[in-house]
Amino acid sequence: HEERRKKETPLITESLPISDYHEVMSSNEGYYEWMKQVNFFGMSLLKNVPTIDRQMVKVCEKIADPQPHAYGTIYEVIAVEDSTDVAYTNNELLLHMDENFFESPPGIVLLSCLKFDDCVEGGENTVVDAYPVVEELRRKHPKQFEVLTRVPYFLHRTYEETINDENIPVS
């Protein structure tokens, strides 16, 4: 029985846990260690993933069947001139949760950097362990916590443009 991190205890670290793609894909032990990292830390950096098309689908299939969404099963996030979606610009992305406007948002999101030239600036990521934030909200503001956890609400996204011939919305 693996000991789990208490979710109300903040985890502050300067570095992410790291696993190797080849170990994860070729051995049960490597896969198990990677999944322990994801369970304990909520994330893991998987190094040495080949930068060939659709490789992340194979990684995803180690966990579960990939689930298609509005953008397809796999999609590229690249800077597009005059984009109305900040994800497709060179602008900094502030803290956010991907696709939280869906009734059932993704349980796991896999991101892969296929190209990162030496001349590229930026690319740093900041992540937040939401569990301690929620616990603090529950302790310090119980009425507001109750409202946020009990009152139904709906999110939606306004679409202004499409990214391909299939009219798949991007913003």
Taking only the tens place, the pLDDT of each residue in 110-135 is 888 776 677 777 667 777 777 788 88
Give the C-alpha separation, 110 to 57, whole Å. Answer: 9
Give the C-alpha separation, 156 to 103, whole Å. Answer: 10
Which spans in 4-163 are helix H?
A: 21-26, 28-41, 55-63, 130-140, 142-150
pLDDT-derived band at 109, boundaries 50, 70, 90: confident
What's the rounded mean pLDDT across residues 70-91? 80
Contacts of 123 (CB under 8 A, 6+ apart): 113, 116
Distance linking the first and last C-alpha atoms of the chain: 44
